[in-house]
Amino acid sequence: MSKTDCDLQKVITTIKRVNRAFKEPTVTTVARGRDPFKVLISCLLSLRTKDNVTSAASERLFRLADTPDAMLKLETLDIQGAIYPVGFYRIKSARIKEICRALIEEYGRNVPDDIDTLLKLPGVGRKTANLVVTLGYGKPGICVDTHVHRITNRWGYVRTKTPIETEFALRKILPKKYWLIINDVLVTYGQNICTPVLPKCSICKVYWYCKRVGVKKHR
pTM for the full model?
Answer: 0.90
In this prediction, residue 4 has a pLDDT band, given cuts at 50, 70 and 90, of: low
Q: Please answer whether residues 88 and 57 qualify as being in contact, where contact means their C-beta atoms are separated by less than 8 angstroms.
A: no
pLDDT value of position 3: 54
Closest CA to 6 of 14, 72, 40, 73: 14
Residue 209 confidence (pLDDT): 94
User: What's the pLDDT band for 6 if we cut at 50, 70, 90?
Assistant: low
| For residue 5, pLDDT beyond 70 | no
203 contacts: CB under 8 Å, gap ≥ 6: 193
Predicted confidence at residue 32, as pLDDT, reads: 84
Superfamily of domain covering 26-137: Hypothetical protein; domain 2 (1.10.340.30)
Per-domain boundaries in the chain: 5-23+142-209, 26-137
Q: Which fold has domain 5-23+142-209?
A: Endonuclease Iii, domain 2 (1.10.1670)
Helix (H) or strand (E) holding 9: helix 5-19
